Amino acid sequence: MTIAPIAGTAAVRPEASGKDVGPAPRSSALVKHEVDKLAPAQEFEAFALRSFVEEMLPSEASNFFGGGTAGNIWRSMMAEQLGEQLARDGGIGIADMISADRAMEPQTAAETKAQAGESARTRFGAMLAGIGKP
């Protein structure tokens, strides 16, 4: 006989003698909140998209969002959900760029950063040289 668990606890399986034998084995299946979780790169992209969306939403739409603090909170929550869904559906490529950068071999990443730094120094030097000329 198995006793139904109380939320947040494990089920107890009493033996025929009536003694507790410990918690029931936990299923390896993921629960809903674990299945829907975004990868870290997607979480970052969702955060960036939330900021973009929140700036695009009208700030003076009290008839839609409501007024005062509650309206501001609702607007922020809506932007958060929109950003998360956009990131979940592919986003704008931020997560892909982060994942690609992290997947590079360390030597390749260092070479790429060195080339980017050299390129920036060259452009900055050319810009400074052009300042002094009429």
Residue 120, CA distances (Å) to 53, 79, 106, 131, 132 in order:
31, 35, 21, 17, 19
The predicted-structure confidence for 35-74, as pLDDT tens digits, reads as follows 678 888 899 999 999 999 999 888 777 777 777 888 888 8
Residue 65 CB neighbour total at 10 angstroms: 20
Enter the tokens of residue 133: 């000329």
DSSP state of 105: -
pLDDT for residue 12 is more than 50:
no
Label residue 81 by pLDDT band (50, 70, 90).
very high
Compute the distance between CA of residue 106 and CA of residue 97 in angstroms, rounded to an integer: 16
What is the number of other CB atoms lying within 10 angstroms of the CB of residue 117?
Answer: 10
Read off the pTM. Answer: 0.50
